[in-house]
């Protein structure tokens, strides 16, 4: 991770380490000296202020800058925040030239800073927090979205067994397992009854398509989780692999399509935008580009894939909301759960199309 640059150049939102995320800096420095080649102190630690999942820190030691990602403190939901998996998949993909940061070291010993963590190189580049890419010319917007879908197709073409990831997940029956997983995660963080979530939990299993393709699935693939070259419309790193597994490629594709259905201010919505004039693709053009790149001639029941992706994001949002209520979130402890409600409603509407 990252230089946080929006479409118009901006500085990274990095500040002091939050009180509930503090750890022993001296123990970390000693571990870095023993495990990270070329590291030499003294070291300064600051924290990235964006994000709501795994706490992320900047480590500055002389001319070298590193990024550390760790599990959050407190009681965690089952199978969440597995930083060792993030490290493993990026390490493997980097070995075949896929754009990811250079992995430095993984620490699974919670005695060092309180939780497992990993360290990777800091990269200079652009991250677009707003999906409409304000401040850019239409031709560059078009090229940025073209590389977004091309990089996703490239990921799905990777032979996961050949790079040592044959056991990175259970191949097959992806949606059955995922619906079960996110239902369980939702129940574990539930604070109120959302009627559309109940309907989705009941209806989604009966709509699973027969297509059972297996690839590496990123799980959170969108503009905010990739870094572009400082001046070129080219992705230099795909970030935030916490939700990755062996899964279904169309889950990743549908997840990117949430941009055309969400009102999220944090993502930047493509709803009610003059797409053609701005150089932005329609949802149909985005899906068609992926199909061309991957050799698919069509996708049956795309509404299922999109509804599932919205449902899963609603479950994730409920977990973030619950962590903030409990005082262990990495966001600004917002107490408004309207985003989860909106995603659930949209998912239910999409499923009925």
**Residue-wise pLDDT tens digits, 193-251:** 999 999 999 999 999 999 999 999 999 999 999 999 999 999 999 999 988 999 999 99
Band of the pLDDT at 19, cuts 50, 70, 90?
confident
Whether pLDDT at 146 is above 50: yes
pLDDT in tens, 43-57: 999 998 865 578 899
- Would you state the pLDDT for residue 12? 56
Whether pLDDT at 37 is above 70: yes
Band of the pLDDT at 41, cuts 50, 70, 90?
confident
- Would you state the pLDDT for residue 16? 87
Band of the pLDDT at 304, cuts 50, 70, 90?
very high
Q: Which residues contact 345 (CB under 8 A, 6 or more apart)?
A: 196
What is the C-alpha to C-alpha distance for residues 38 and 64, in angstroms, rounded to an integer? 9
Please, are residues 53 and 242 in contact by the beta-carbon 8 Å criterion?
A: yes
Whether pLDDT at 10 is above 50: no
Strand spans (E) along the chain: 14-15, 44-48, 56-61, 64-70, 103-107, 117-121, 215-217, 226-228, 235-238, 245-247
Q: What is the dihedral of CA 338, 339, 344, 347, to 10 degrees?
A: 140
What is the C-alpha to C-alpha distance for residues 117 and 109, in angstroms, rounded to an integer? 8
Query: What are the tokens at 235?
Result: 């992705």
- Would you state the pLDDT for residue 330? 54
Band of the pLDDT at 335, cuts 50, 70, 90?
low
Mean residue pLDDT across the chain: 90
- The domain limits of the chain are 14-121, 138-351
pLDDT in tens, 153-204: 999 999 999 999 999 999 989 999 999 999 999 999 999 999 999 999 999 9
CATH class of the 138-351 domain in this structure? alpha beta
Whether pLDDT at 4 is above 60: no
If you write DSSP's letter for every residue of 84-127 in order, what string do you get?
A: HHHHHHHHHHHTTT-S-PPEEEEE--TTTTSS-EEEEE----B-
Whether pLDDT at 262 is above 60: yes
Task: Calculate mean pLDDT across residues 106-118.
Answer: 93
pTM: 0.88
The b/e string for 69-100 (b: 16+ C-beta within 10 A; e otherwise) is bbbbeeebbeebbbbebbbbbbbbbbeeebbb
Q: Which residues contact 186 (CB under 8 A, 6 or more apart)?
A: 197, 201, 314, 315, 318, 319
In percent, the amount of the chain with pLDDT more than 90 equals 76
What is the C-alpha to C-alpha distance for residues 248 and 254, in angstroms, rounded to an integer? 10
Helix and strand totals (H; E) in the chain: 10, 10
- Tell me the CATH architecture of domain 14-121: 2-Layer Sandwich (3.30)
Task: Calculate mean pLDDT across residues 28-52.
Answer: 89
What is the C-alpha to C-alpha distance for residues 251 and 329, in angstroms, rounded to an integer? 26
Task: Calculate mean pLDDT across residues 59-71.
Answer: 93
How far is residue 71 from each of residues 5, 56, 83, 205, 292, measured CA to CA in Å?
25, 9, 7, 31, 38
Q: What is the dihedral of CA 72, 78, 82, 88, to 10 degrees?
A: 180
- Would you state the pLDDT for residue 77? 47
Residue 73's closest CA among 331, 329, 317?
Answer: 329
What is the C-alpha to C-alpha distance for residues 126 and 60, in angstroms, rounded to an integer? 20
Query: What are the tokens at 59?
Result: 């480590």
């Amino acid at each position: 991770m990252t230089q946080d640059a929006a479409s118009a150049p901006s500085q990274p939102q990095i500040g002091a380490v939050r009180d509930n995320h503090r750890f022993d800096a001296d123990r970390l420095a000693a571990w870095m000296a023993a495990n990270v080649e070329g590291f030499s102190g003294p070291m300064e630690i600051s924290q990235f202020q964006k994000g709501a999942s795994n706490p992320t820190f900047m480590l500055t030691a002389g001319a070298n800058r590193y990024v550390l990602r760790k599990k959050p403190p407190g009681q965690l939901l089952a199978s969440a925040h597995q930083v060792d998996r993030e490290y493993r998949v990026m390490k493997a993909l980097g070995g075949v030239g896929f754009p990811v940061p250079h992995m430095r070291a993984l620490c699974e010993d919670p005695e060092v800073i309180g939780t497992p963590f990993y360290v990777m190189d800091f990269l200079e580049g652009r991250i677009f927090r707003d999906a409409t890419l304000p401040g850019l010319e239409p031709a560059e917007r078009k090229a940025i979205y073209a590389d977004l879908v091309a990089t996703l197709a490239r990921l799905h073409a990777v032979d996961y067994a050949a790079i040592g990831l044959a056991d990175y997940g259970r191949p097959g029956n992806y949606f059955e397992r995922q619906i079960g997983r996110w239902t369980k995660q939702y129940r574990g963080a539930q604070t109120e009854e959302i009627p559309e979530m109940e309907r989705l939990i009941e209806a989604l299993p009966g709509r699973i398509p027969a297509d059972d393709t297996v690839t590496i699935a990123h799980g959170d693939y969108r503009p905010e989780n990739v870094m572009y070259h400082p001046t070129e419309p080219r992705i230099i790193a795909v970030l935030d692999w916490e939700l990755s597994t062996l899964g279904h490629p169309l889950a990743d594709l549908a997840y990117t399509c949430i941009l055309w259905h969400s009102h999220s201010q944090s993502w930047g919505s493509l709803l009610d935008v003059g797409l053609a004039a701005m150089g932005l693709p329609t949802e149909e053009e985005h899906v068609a580009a992926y199909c061309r790149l991957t050799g698919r001639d069509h996708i049956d029941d795309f509404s299922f894939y999109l509804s599932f992706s919205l449902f899963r994001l609603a479950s994730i949002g409920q977990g973030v909301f619950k962590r903030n209520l409990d005082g262990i979130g990495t966001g600004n402890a917002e107490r408004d759960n309207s985003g989860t409600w909106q995603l659930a409603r949209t998912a239910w509407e999409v499923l009925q199309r």
